[in-house]
């Protein structure tokens, strides 16, 4: 296999759950050696979230591919010395333990960076290293609530949790990009740095549009189900065969194309209710009735073909099984097998494609699988 972008980089991760493991898996896919330190007994508690993947946790399989699992008792002198040796040889130290935990272990950033000036440290927390929420438990859904995400997600009558761990993913992605930036900076300065990422800050960045829309627009965004809260038409529409097609019109040029080429209703262009996007959004219910009256003569497949021909963005509402068989993913050969303690598993290649190279996609580790090998390597 050709050299990977992060070959030669060693990451030691004192991690659990989702946010930090998600960040370090991205590094592993780019070739970094990621040594995952787990607690004796059950290890990372994400191993026990479910048993969906042939007895393994779907969460754990998703975000721990390509790592080495080392079980250490950090209260024991020998294992603590081994951890110190791992960190001394590392380029990056990542953790998402409870606030203050690494300091009590003598592994706080000031201590480590004084010992190892080239080391990059990255702390991932729920609410940051200080402030009144510093010690508050911060699970994904709870951070979504604190960031206001649930206030704008769901149907008008009730909020709904997004279907993925979006706060954890946001925090993990900013940790990942921050580590890459720190590695680049170290190439110029020879010095490491200390990074801090909070889930609230990360998800708060992703809440930028609703914040600005409400803070300066004067009215709160309302939960709108599967429809866009401020663009119309943008959402699901019923067809004559009972199917639904999602479509999106984001400019007056597209609105004209929809009316003339797909609806065959050019008079709607001049209707003052639909003159521009603010007007269309204000009269969304009336616009939906007009669209679905036209779409009633089409099947879902026929409507998609018509919209494609008119250059109108559209999509099918697929379930997970349909996504797994998506023709675009199949045509681009995006699926690969990788190994695990229960045998080969099928997963998607990472989103970043490096020209001429494929992601490492090394196995998911069994708990403590690499403990003795790592102990032998770093206890010399």
Q: Share the mean pLDDT of the chain.
A: 94
Interval 35-48 mean pLDDT: 95
* Cα distance between residue 295 and residue 260, in whole Å: 14
Q: Partners of 347 in the beta sheet?
A: 336
Looking at domain 234-317, does it have CATH number 3.30.1540.10? yes
* Cα distance between residue 311 and residue 304, in whole Å: 10
> Whose CA is closest to 199, among 238, 144, 159, 249?
144
Given a cut of 70, whether residue 120 has pLDDT beyond it is: yes
Given a cut of 70, whether residue 1 has pLDDT beyond it is: no
Residue 28: burial class (beta carbons within 10 Å; 0-12, 13-18, 19+)? buried
* Cα distance between residue 276 and residue 269, in whole Å: 9
Q: pLDDT category, 56, cuts 50, 70, 90?
A: very high
**pLDDT confidence of residue 55:** 96
User: What ranges do the domains of the chain cover?
Assistant: 10-207+330-378, 234-317
Q: Partners of 315 in the beta sheet?
A: 246
* Cα distance between residue 133 and residue 115, in whole Å: 30
**pLDDT confidence of residue 213:** 87
Q: Which residues are catalytic?
A: 228
* Cα distance between residue 35 and residue 14, in whole Å: 9
* 165-193 pLDDT per residue, tens: 999 999 999 999 999 999 999 999 999 99
* 249-270 pLDDT per residue, tens: 999 999 999 999 999 999 999 8
CB 323 within 8 A of CB 313: no
Per DSSP (E only), the strands in 45-160 are: 67-71, 92-95, 120-125, 154-155, 158-159
* Cα distance between residue 42 and residue 301, in whole Å: 49
Residues 6+ apart with CB under 8 A from 332: none
Per DSSP (E only), the strands in 158-255 are: 158-159, 194-198, 234-238, 244-248
CB 314 within 8 A of CB 307: yes
Handedness of CA 65, 67, 68, 71 (dihedral sign): negative
Options 3.90.550.10, 3.90.1150.10, 3.10.180.10, 3.40.50.10540; CATH for 10-207+330-378 is 3.40.50.10540
**pLDDT confidence of residue 113:** 92
Using a pLDDT cut of 90, give the percent of the chain over it.
88
**pLDDT confidence of residue 230:** 87
**pLDDT confidence of residue 100:** 86
Residues 6+ apart with CB under 8 A from 191: 117, 118, 185
CB 18 within 8 A of CB 170: no
**pLDDT confidence of residue 360:** 83
- The two beta strands, 313-316 and 335-338, are unpaired
What Å distances lie between residue 286 and 188, 233, 238, 298, CA to CA? 59, 11, 14, 20
Q: How far apart are the first and last CA of the chain?
A: 29
- 272 Rama sector, left if φ>0, alpha if ψ -120 to 50, beta otherwise: alpha
**pLDDT confidence of residue 217:** 86
Instruction: Find where tokens 């960076």 sit.
Output: 113
* 327-350 pLDDT per residue, tens: 999 999 999 999 999 999 999 999
The phi and psi torsions of 336 (rounded to 5 degrees) equal -140, 155
Residues 6+ apart with CB under 8 A from 193: 113, 120, 121, 182, 185, 186
């Amino acid at each position: 296999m050709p050299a990977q972008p992060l070959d030669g980089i060693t990451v030691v991760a004192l991690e659990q759950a989702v946010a930090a493991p998600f960040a370090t898996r991205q590094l592993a896919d780019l070739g970094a050696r990621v040594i995952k330190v787990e607690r004796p007994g059950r290890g990372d508690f994400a191993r026990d979230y479910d048993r969906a993947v042939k007895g393994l946790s779907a969460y754990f399989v998703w975000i721990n591919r390509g790592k080495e699992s080392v079980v250490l008792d950090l209260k024991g002198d020998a294992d603590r010395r081994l951890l110190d040796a791992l960190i001394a040889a590392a380029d990056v130290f990542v953790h998402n333990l409870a606030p203050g935990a690494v300091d009590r272990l003598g592994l706080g950033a000031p201590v480590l960076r004084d010992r190892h000036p080239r080391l990059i440290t990255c702390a991932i927390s729920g609410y940051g290293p200080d402030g009144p929420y510093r010690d508050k438990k911060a699970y994904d859904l709870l951070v979504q609530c604190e960031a206001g995400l649930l206030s704008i997600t769901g149907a008008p009558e009730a909020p709904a949790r997004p279907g993925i761990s979006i706060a954890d993913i946001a925090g993990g992605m900013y940790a990942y990009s921050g580590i890459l930036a720190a590695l680049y900076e170290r190439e110029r300065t020879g010095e490491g740095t200390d990074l801090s990422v909070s889930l609230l800050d990360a998800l708060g960045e992703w809440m930028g549009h609703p914040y600005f829309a409400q803070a300066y627009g004067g009215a709160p965004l309302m939960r709108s189900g599967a429809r866009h809260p401020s663009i119309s038409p943008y959402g699901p529409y019923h067809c004559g065969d009972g199917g639904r097609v999602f479509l999106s019109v984001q400019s007056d040029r597209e609105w004209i194309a929809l009316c003339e080429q797909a609806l065959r209703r050019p008079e709607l262009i001049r209707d003052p209710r639909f003159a521009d996007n603010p007007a269309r959004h204000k009269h969304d219910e009336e616009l939906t009735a007009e669209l679905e009256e036209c779409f009633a003569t089409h099947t879902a497949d026929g409507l998609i073909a018509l919209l494609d021909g008119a250059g109108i963005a559209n999509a099918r509402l697929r379930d997970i099984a349909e996504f797994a068989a998506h023709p675009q993913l199949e045509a681009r050969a995006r699926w690969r097998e990788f190994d695990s303690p229960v045998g080969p598993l099928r997963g998607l290649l990472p989103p970043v494609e490096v020209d001429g190279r494929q992601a490492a996609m090394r196995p998911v580790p069994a708990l403590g699988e690499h403990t003795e090998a790592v102990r032998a390597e770093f206890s010399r």
